[in-house]
């Protein structure tokens, strides 16, 4: 009578353990990377544009220099409080060329992102970001074109519940650009300056047209998954080198 010995439990070989560990670490890395990519897209933190992206093409406030058609310095500022937190990625604005540009006038303006002055209005001495832009579409014939400022500086986080200001000022004495008005009701406040930006006054008018975009900040757990997956792969490779 033939008998069969009971087989002892098979112990996984070191290579099989290493393969399993490598597969597990790759899974962690893939999961972390997927979560990171899904949160790295741009979101709208605040907007005064209509749902279809339009704005008032026939009304706005200017950024002008003393030698432009307007004949006076004029700077316009509009407040906003982000509805979501994130890192600033870009700002879209309904800024157009003035209708009656003189021979030397231009549509060049400086866009600044400023903090809030405790007394009301923008605190330009605390500028967070700025850049020179040019309006390229004529006022009153915009087709809702937007001028976009893409932020490429150091990481700049915008927080919910904090008041910020977008400010347009003339690049030079010949600037004559118009920041178009919004067509929707918003909590934004409009201020203006005629003294070179030293003092801003409450305009009491409707908000201007703009949209602030941020990149969503990945959760700490996402970074933890990426770090754990990378560390596991490092240890696996190191162990294989020690056993060969």
pLDDT single digits (tens) 4-48:
555 455 555 555 655 565 565 566 556 544 544 444 467 999 999
Is the pLDDT at 214 greater than 70? The verdict is yes
Is the pLDDT at 217 greater than 90? The verdict is no
List, in sequence order, every beta strand (DSSP E) within 48-151.
60-64, 75-80, 86-93, 95-97, 108-116, 122-134, 147-150
- What is the rounded average pLDDT for all residues in the chain? 79
pLDDT of residue 142: 74
Label residues 93-106 b or e (16+ Cβ within 10 Å = b).
bbbbbbeebeeebb
- Position 98 confidence tier, pLDDT thresholds 50, 70, 90: confident
Of residues 239 and 49, more confidently modeled: 49
pLDDT of residue 36: 44
Interatomic CA distance for residues 7 and 85, integer angstroms: 61
Phi-psi region of 53 (alpha: psi -120 to 50; beta: other; left: phi over 0): left
pLDDT of residue 106: 87
User: 103-162, pLDDT tens digit by residue?
Assistant: 778 889 999 999 887 666 777 777 899 999 999 888 887 778 899 999 999 999 999 999
Of the candidates 86, 95, 43, the one whose C-alpha atom is nearest the C-alpha of residue 209 is 95
pLDDT of residue 127: 86
Domain ranges for the chain: 42-215
- Position 71 confidence tier, pLDDT thresholds 50, 70, 90: confident
Tell me if 90 sits within 8 A of 42, measured CB to CB: yes
pTM for this predicted structure: 0.72
- Which class does domain 42-215 fall in? mainly beta
pLDDT of residue 16: 61
Is the pLDDT at 190 greater than 80? The verdict is yes
């Amino acid at each position: 009578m033939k008998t069969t010995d009971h087989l002892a439990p098979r112990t996984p070989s070191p290579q099989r353990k290493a393969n399993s560990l490598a597969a597990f670490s790759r899974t962690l890395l893939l999961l972390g990377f997927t979560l990171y990519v899904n949160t790295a897209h741009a979101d709208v933190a605040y907007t005064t544009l209509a749902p279809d992206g339009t704005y008032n093409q026939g009304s706005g406030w200017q950024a002008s220099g003393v030698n432009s058609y307007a004949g006076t310095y004029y700077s316009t500022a509009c407040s906003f409080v982000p509805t979501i937190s994130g890192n600033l990625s870009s700002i879209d604005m309904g800024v157009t060329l003035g209708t009656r540009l003189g021979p030397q006038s231009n549509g060049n303006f400086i866009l600044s992102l400023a903090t809030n002055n405790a007394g009301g209005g923008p605190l330009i001495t605390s500028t967070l970001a700025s850049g020179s832009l040019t309006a390229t579409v004529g006022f009153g014939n915009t087709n809702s074109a937007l001028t976009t400022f893409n932020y490429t500086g150091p990481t700049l986080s915008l927080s919910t519940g904090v008041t910020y200001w977008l400010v347009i000022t003339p690049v030079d004495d010949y600037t004559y650009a118009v920041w178009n008005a919004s067509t929707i009701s918003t909590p934004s406040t409009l201020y203006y300056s005629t003294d070179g930006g030293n003092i801003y006054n409450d305009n009491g008018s409707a908000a201007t047209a703009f949209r602030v975009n941020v990149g969503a900040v990945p959760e700490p757990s996402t970074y933890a998954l990426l770090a754990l997956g990378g560390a596991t792969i490092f240890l696996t490779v190191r162990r294989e080198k020690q056993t060969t």
